[in-house]
Structure 1
């Protein structure tokens, strides 16, 4: 499964990501560019989660919003 979101779609999804991870800034989310690895790293760093926990959150987010992109 490809967990990356196309750039144009990611710009539309930033609001939903901001709701999910409110401690991430708009700039951080923009720079993540919808890439699962970047987003996972940001969540891991900001929330003090393990890599696996952060990756699961990102996977669940992408799965829940798959129809949106």
Structure 2
């Protein structure tokens, strides 16, 4: 058996060695890319628009607010 894997103690079957190699190969995946930063909403022109008016108690007060 040549390569980087060597059985030191015991007698492993070819299926056990294949399972070990599969687990080690799965752990060696590339790291995930960092998440995209959140969108900056302070410069969004829709932020300056006022919210839709809803009828109800104190609706006249909120009609003057942006």
Please, what TM-score do these two structures have when normalized by structure 1? 0.27
Say which structure is richer in helix.
Answer: 1
Please, what TM-score do these two structures have when normalized by structure 2? 0.28
Q: Which has the larger radius of gyration?
A: 2
